[in-house]
Amino acid sequence: MDAITCIKERMSIRAFTDKPVSREILSEIIDTAKWSPSYKNSQPWEVIVLSGKKKEGLSNLLLNLLEQGEEAKPDLAAPTSWPDREQAQIDHLYAMRKEATGMDLNDPKIITAAKKANFKFYRAPHAIYLFQDDSLSSWSLFDLGLFAQSLMLAAHAKGLGTVPQAFATDYAPQVKEFLNIPTSKRLVLGISIGWPDLESPANQLRTERMPTEEIITWME
């Protein structure tokens, strides 16, 4: 698969088969992602891959915290507002999803259901957590974003599916304790990974992108 096709065809997968991915393939994907660029080649990324009982244990912990009404304390605070341009894109996505699935993402009950699906890692056989030292600058956070994109593209090139999950970091203190991640680290992103179930209705909605002319300014 060429790079351009890989970038354009990758999509967030929210239904997986139960077939596990070999450690060899998972390792190869992360080995590829490590070639992402970073500020002064600082390589500010750390990775944990969860499978089996450890993944299920974390899933149960997250679900219990949600059921108990525990306050979410992500290391990266969720946005509380958006500029008009970006809000319009979010509103369009919500409208598309409501039309395709009947789910209104503005409904608190639907948000809770979405969190539960996240905490179950969409039943993927594996989950990945990305983290880094919390003393690092915003440039390093940007670098970790590049690493995450490279990881998801490498997975797609192997025929795997992924979905980046902010909700998976909602209970950052508890996740770090469960995974023995030092409190001096910031938990940035969870990613479900596995073989995609492309027949599932959950994977039928393909999000759109803004027209190129709306995001580019030519200057000569």
Give the pLDDT score at 101: 79
Give the pLDDT score at 189: 98
Give the pLDDT score at 110: 86
Please give the model's pTM, rounded to 2 decimal places: 0.95
* CA neighbor of 193 nearest in space, from 123, 113, 131: 123
Give the pLDDT score at 107: 87
Question: What would the two tokens of residue 165 be?
Answer: 């999950």
Helix H or strand E encompassing 126: strand 126-133
Residue 53: what residue type?
K
Give the pLDDT score at 127: 98
Domains of the chain from N-terminus onward: 3-76+119-205 (3.40.109.10)
Query: Alpha-carbon distance 145 to 139, whole Å?
Result: 10
Q: In what order do the strands lie in the sheet with 126-133?
A: 46-51, 126-133, 185-194, 161-165
* CA neighbor of 167 nearest in space, from 95, 116, 98, 92: 116
* CA neighbor of 119 nearest in space, from 56, 47, 45: 56
Query: Alpha-carbon distance 29 to 144, whole Å?
Result: 15
Question: At 209, is the secondary structure helix, strand, or coil?
Answer: coil
What is the full per-residue pLDDT of the chain (220 aa) written as tens digits? 899 999 999 999 999 999 999 999 999 999 999 999 999 999 999 999 999 999 999 999 999 999 999 999 999 999 999 999 999 999 988 888 888 777 788 888 888 999 999 999 999 999 999 999 999 999 999 999 999 999 999 999 999 999 999 999 999 999 999 999 999 999 999 999 999 999 998 888 888 999 999 999 999 9
